[in-house]
Amino acid sequence: MLIKRLKGSATNSDELSPTVKKRLNRTGGFLASLYRYVFLISMSYVILYPMFYMLSASLKTPGGFLDPSIIWIPRVITLENYAKAIKALYLPGSLYNTLIYEMVSAGIEILSCAFAAYGLARFKFRGKSILMVLLILNIFIPPQMIIIPMMMNFADLDFLGILGLFKQLTGMEFQINTLDTVFPFYLPSLFAVGLKAGIMIFIYIQFFKGLPKELEEAAWIDGAGPFKTYLRIALPSSGVVFLTVSVFSIIWHWNDYYLAVMYTSNKLPVSVRLSNIEDMFNTLKVFTDYEKASLSMAARALFVLPMLIMYMILQKKFIKSIDRVGITG
């Protein structure tokens, strides 16, 4: 009986006039578009509301917080909060530290991960499966689990136990402390085991596997070795994936807190200065609660601004690069 009813309903729908069918299609398309726009507007509000609130609060005077009629645009707009936030963050010095520690480290990691990924994508060798397992562990194990052992290692650097053996043979006691230097940032990046390195290597591997092998085979015929083929064929062809990985790496290193706070104590980057700004306000005890709120929002706006400008400049190329790399499926 159920099958007959379904067949009957299908027959009735087939007998509908073209005008009715067109109206039903329009109604369905309208409802689908309405749902899509409602969903997108709702998601945009959820994502953008904190940004709008941060910007509005950063431009308010202390009296603006006491005015309940002010929601978005303050009656009196002031940039004094930004001037004070720049001083509170020690912005010129902390920006320099961020560039030296984090951005240079990001650049090294982008290149080393590409080199490691090419070897994993193109060559077969013993221990490759073990390296892939370690690569997966690098992705899934949070850095907070290994950051204390890494800090202790860099506080008394002993490469492959050579220094420990030398100490035993000579009886000399000495310590190589690399904290507050660039080495804890540069060394992991150089060996492609730095911040989020596993994710970047996987993105590179996905790209290199899709690269036509004919180009590399032509280079091999011309007498180029693996390293020369990588430099002349693979690396110049990876401009698309290079942009994707670069944007991700720069944002990850810019936002990095755990590594920076463990490896540095004096030359602090912007991320650490920002996290300590509330403690600094409480220690000074010269600001009211409303001044603290305005200054905190101004400091956060200054922190977000460089990455926001970078994304706005590279938005079109970045979206195209993600599509071509295949991250979106």
Rounded Cα–Cα distance for residues 59 and 146 (Å): 41
Phi, psi at residue 56, to the nearest 5°? -65, -45
Q: pTM value?
A: 0.80
Tokens of 239: 């401009």
pLDDT tier, 1 (very low <50, low <70, confident <90, very high otherwise): very low
pLDDT of residue 17: 67
Closest CA to 179 of 261, 112, 244, 108: 261
> What's the whole-number mean pLDDT along residues 221-246?
88
pLDDT of residue 20: 61
Among the ranges given (45-54, 86-95, 248-257), the one the predictor scored with the smallest mean pLDDT: 45-54
pLDDT of residue 15: 55
Instruction: Give 49-82 pLDDT, tens digit per residue.
Output: 888 888 888 888 877 777 766 667 788 888 999 9
The residue type at 235: L
Q: 65 and 290 in contact (C-beta within 8 Å)?
A: yes
Instruction: Name residue, tokens 């460089």.
Output: 306
Tell the burial category of 104 from Cβ atoms under 10 Å away from its Cβ (0-12, 13-18, 19+): middle
Rounded Cα–Cα distance for residues 46 and 244 (Å): 25
pLDDT of residue 189: 92
From residue 245, alpha-carbon distances to 196, 259, 319 in Å are 10, 20, 12
Consecutive H or E run containing 2:
helix 2-14
Q: For domain 89-275, give its CATH number from 3.40.190.170, 3.40.50.2020, 1.10.3720.10, 3.20.20.70.
A: 1.10.3720.10
Q: Kindly report the CA angle at 264 between 261 and 267, in degrees rounded to 5? A: 115
Secondary structure class of 156 (helix, strand, coil): coil
Closest CA to 61 of 300, 290, 277, 287: 290
Percent of the chain, pLDDT > 90?
24
Rounded Cα–Cα distance for residues 263 and 257 (Å): 10
Domain residue limits, the chain: 89-275
pLDDT at 8 over 90: no
* Number of other residues whose CB lies within 10 A of the CB of residue 69: 5
Instruction: Name residue, tokens 């998601």.
Output: 43
pLDDT at 5 over 50: no
pLDDT of residue 47: 84
